[in-house]
Amino acid sequence: MRILLVEDDEALAQGVILALRGQGFVVNHVTQGEQALSSIRSQDCDAVVLDLGLPDIDGLDVLKTTRQKFPRLPVLVLTARDGVDDRIRGLDLGADDYLVKPFALAELFARLRVIERRLGTASHHLIKLKDVELDSSAHQVRLAGEALALSRREYMLLKVLMESAGRIKTREQLEASLYAWGEEVASNALEVHISNLRKKLPKDFIKTLRGVGYSVDPA
């Protein structure tokens, strides 16, 4: 799931970005409301984590505009405004969830997983194909019941491929699922990750992923 983090506190933002990427999310970050609306209009994200105290426009205005233009885009408000009236106003304006600072990262992860399941990008926290089982809540992959050691990118790619089995995914879509804005992507990076997965997974399992638009079969 691609998350747009709208947060003007750089120190907090970098901590959240690092933590979310460690959970397999792709995170892009902006510090201002107008930047957020521009990104949302270009449909660069699957969900928004939105601070309300932004330097240019109030986060509630961002929320209101987002809900008018993109009624199905999930928005999780992450703010220091902890009054009951603040929460009610945020939810009434269309926030899918409201989390008050300071917060536990584990709770943020759990709330985003709920949003992810609602979106349908993860119909269940357990995804199983043949002997491979991916547990998105534990961030683990098991092969025939045994834990499989994967890098963060390998895990993210496998998750996208397993969720997309039987549906078309282009190279560009796969790369967008793995990398955030500004991250340098080597021309053969996707091939390297797929090659590593081929070495770690059974050949008959790889064949079940033929339904995606990008070939993962050995040449």
Cα angle 108, 110, 111; round to 5? 65
Single-letter residue type at 87: R
Instruction: State pTM to two decimals.
Output: 0.65
In terms of pLDDT, which residue wins out, 29 or 140? 29
> Residue 27: which residues within 8 A CB-CB, separation 6 or more?
2, 3, 4, 5, 16, 17, 20, 21, 180
Residues 104-126 have pLDDT tens digits of 999 999 999 888 877 765 445 67
Task: For residue 104, give both structure tokens.
Answer: 């536990």
Provide the pLDDT for residue 87: 92
Asked whether residue 129 carries a pLDDT value surpassing 60, the answer given is yes
Report pLDDT digits (tens) over 25-74.
889 999 999 999 999 998 778 899 999 999 999 999 999 999 999 988 99
CB 31 within 8 A of CB 66: no
**C-alpha to C-alpha distance for 141 and 145, rounded to whole angstroms:** 9
Q: CB under 8 Å to 123, separation ≥6 — which residues?
A: 117, 163
